[in-house]
């Protein structure tokens, strides 16, 4: 497939989509679907995968239809959409910062979304919708603050990461303060929300996520050509007609929006945004931001983590599983980078 990208009013001819990248995308989509089928079949009343698939296609018993479509399918779809948003957001920010550690987990945007939710839960009160809106607002304010603080005649990768890490540390301290001052019941509710969970997700979560991602995902994917040029350096990008700072601003807005709606739906699920782009790039062996493979990798990672959480002897929130897996991945990544630096 030949494509044409517009960057700052100038056309930039796109390359053919590599067969390897296409195969990776198809494989990740299949992995996410297969894990989702297993998640739907897991519970107090186990349902074999074949029966889950039949039920999804409108067959199956009345009991299976109720359990699958009303109770378990919304959880699986929420996991897919949240993982997709986190993986795509991580790819955007790692491309902007040109740093494998430049994910929204580490540079403050996820923490900002958590702060907004905690303020709503502990200080204002309100239901699920209010918490979701406050989470989005917290991420938006944090993203704006980090961008402005990092701006010095432009926003560059290392400065964005360093400012984001500093802002994240301050917000973490504020979040801890809020929890220590809260009543026991409210503190427990806040602490549970901070782990990241897919428990109790229903069709309202799926609909809200679907509407938001129907706008944000195409917006972020459309920036892929600009991000690819910006990765080559500001001077090269400008010579190709890319408006560098405008592109960075749009990418930050899209990335923050993605992590905001994901956090609003499932809480601050850790490390998916960090690991998904790196794993996707290693599989595709491609250059550039690899936005679509990263999004699909995020969906697969989160649904597989949820399956692990459901199948363990002790039921855990999915955020605990992703934190453990992400911590192992981070240690491995740092080890690899350390050996390369010798």
- Decide which of 153 and 288 is more confident: 288
Per-residue pLDDT band for 1 (boundaries 50, 70, 90) equals: very low
Q: Please give the Cα distance from 145 to 143 (Å, whole number).
A: 5
pLDDT at 188: 83
Quickly tell me which residue has 């990776």 as its tokens. 24
- Report whether 319 contacts 267 (CB < 8 A): yes
Nearest alpha-carbon partner for 73 in 193, 249, 207: 207
Q: What is the mean pLDDT of residues 23-37?
A: 95
Q: What is the mean pLDDT of residues 68-80?
A: 94
User: Is the per-residue pLDDT at 7 higher than 60?
Assistant: no
For the ranges 79-83, 159-163, 294-298, 330-334, which has the lowest average pLDDT?
330-334
Q: What is the mean pLDDT of residues 11-31?
A: 78
Q: Please give the Cα distance from 163 to 171 (Å, whole number).
A: 12
Q: What is the mean pLDDT of residues 83-101?
A: 90
Residue 60: is it exposed, middle or buried by C-beta count within 10 angstroms (0-12/13-18/19+)?
Answer: buried
pLDDT at 291: 92
Mean pLDDT, the chain, rounded, equals 85
159-168, 290-299, 323-332, range with greatest mean pLDDT? 290-299
DSSP 233-266: -HHHHHHTT--HHHHHHHHHHHHHHHHHHHHHHH
pLDDT at 340: 63
Q: Whole-model pTM above 0.75?
A: yes
Nearest alpha-carbon partner for 251 in 226, 277, 278, 280: 226
User: Is the per-residue pLDDT at 279 higher than 80?
Assistant: yes
Q: Please give the Cα distance from 202 to 78 (Å, whole number).
A: 8
Determine phi and psi for 199, rounding to 5 degrees.
-65, 140
Structure tokens at 203: 């069709």
Structure tokens at 177: 């303060």
pLDDT at 89: 94
Structure tokens at 226: 């600009």
Structure tokens at 151: 């701006």
Q: Are strands 10-13 and 4-7 parallel, antiparallel or unpaired?
A: antiparallel
Q: What is the mean pLDDT of residues 112-117?
A: 90
Task: Kindly list the distances between the CA atom of residue 278 and the CA atoms of 87, 225, 263, in Å, as whole numbers in the listed order.
Answer: 10, 19, 21
pLDDT at 17: 67
Structure tokens at 337: 């980078």
Contact partners, residue 225, CB within 8 Å, separation at least 6? 5, 6, 7, 12, 14
- Decide which of 303 and 249 is more confident: 303
Nearest alpha-carbon partner for 135 in 262, 260, 269: 260
pLDDT at 338: 61
- Report whether 318 contacts 309 (CB < 8 A): yes
User: Is the per-residue pLDDT at 151 higher than 50?
Assistant: yes
Nearest alpha-carbon partner for 174 in 190, 163, 188, 189: 190
Percent of the chain with pLDDT over 70: 91
Q: What is the mean pLDDT of residues 16-32?
A: 90
Helical residues (DSSP H) of the chain, grouped into ranges: 19-40, 49-56, 62-65, 73-97, 109-119, 128-150, 157-181, 184-195, 203-222, 224-231, 234-239, 244-266, 272-284, 291-311, 318-341
* Domains of the chain as residue ranges with CATH: 15-341 (1.10.3470.10)
User: Is the per-residue pLDDT at 277 higher than 50?
Assistant: yes
Q: What is the mean pLDDT of residues 278-293?
A: 88
User: Is the per-residue pLDDT at 121 higher than 70?
Assistant: yes
pLDDT at 10: 39
Per-residue pLDDT band for 8 (boundaries 50, 70, 90) equals: very low
Nearest alpha-carbon partner for 96 in 239, 235, 277, 228: 228
pLDDT per residue as tens digits for the range 198-254:
998 999 889 999 999 999 999 999 988 888 888 877 777 788 777 877 888 888 899
pLDDT per residue as tens digits for the range 168-184:
999 999 999 999 888 88
pLDDT at 16: 62
Q: Please give the Cα distance from 76 to 222 (Å, whole number).
A: 27
- Report whether 37 contacts 306 (CB < 8 A): no
């Amino acid at each position: 497939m030949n494509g044409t990208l517009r960057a700052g009013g100038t056309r930039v001819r796109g390359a053919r989509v590599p067969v390897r990248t296409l195969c990776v995308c198809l494989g990740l989509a299949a992995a996410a679907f297969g894990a989702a089928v297993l998640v739907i079949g897991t519970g107090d009343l186990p349902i074999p995968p074949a029966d889950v698939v039949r039920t999804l296609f409108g067959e199956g018993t009345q009991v299976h239809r109720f359990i699958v479509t009303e109770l378990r399918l919304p959880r699986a779809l929420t996991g897919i959409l949240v993982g997709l948003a986190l993986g795509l957001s991580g790819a955007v920010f790692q491309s902007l910062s040109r740093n494998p550690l430049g994910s929204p987990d580490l540079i403050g945007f996820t923490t900002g979304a958590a702060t907004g939710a905690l303020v709503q839960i502990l200080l204002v009160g309100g239901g699920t919708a209010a918490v979701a809106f406050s989470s989005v607002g917290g991420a938006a304010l944090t993203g704006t603050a980090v961008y402005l603080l990092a701006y010095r005649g432009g926003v560059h990768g290392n400065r964005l990461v360093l400012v984001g890490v500093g802002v994240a540390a301050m917000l973490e301290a504020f979040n801890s303060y809020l929890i220590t001052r809260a009543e026991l019941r409210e503190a427990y509710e806040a602490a549970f929300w901070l782990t990241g969970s897919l428990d109790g997700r229903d069709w309202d979560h799926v609909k809200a996520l679907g509407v938001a991602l129907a706008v944000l995902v195409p917006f972020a994917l459309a920036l892929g050509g600009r991000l690819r040029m910006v990765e080559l350096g500001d001077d090269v990008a400008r010579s190709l007609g890319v408006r560098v700072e405008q592109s960075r601003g749009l990418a930050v807005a899209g990335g923050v929006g993605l992590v905001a709606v994901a956090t609003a739906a499932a809480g601050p699920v850790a490390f998916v945004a960090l690991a998904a782009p790196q794993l996707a790039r290693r599989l595709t062996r491609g250059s550039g931001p690899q936005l679509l493979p990263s999004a699909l990798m995020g969906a697969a990672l989160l649904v597989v983590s949820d399956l692990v959480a459901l199948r363990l002897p002790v039921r855990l929130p999915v955020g605990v599983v992703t934190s453990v897996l992400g911590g192992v991945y981070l240690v491995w990544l740092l080890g690899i980078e350390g050996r390369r630096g010798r």
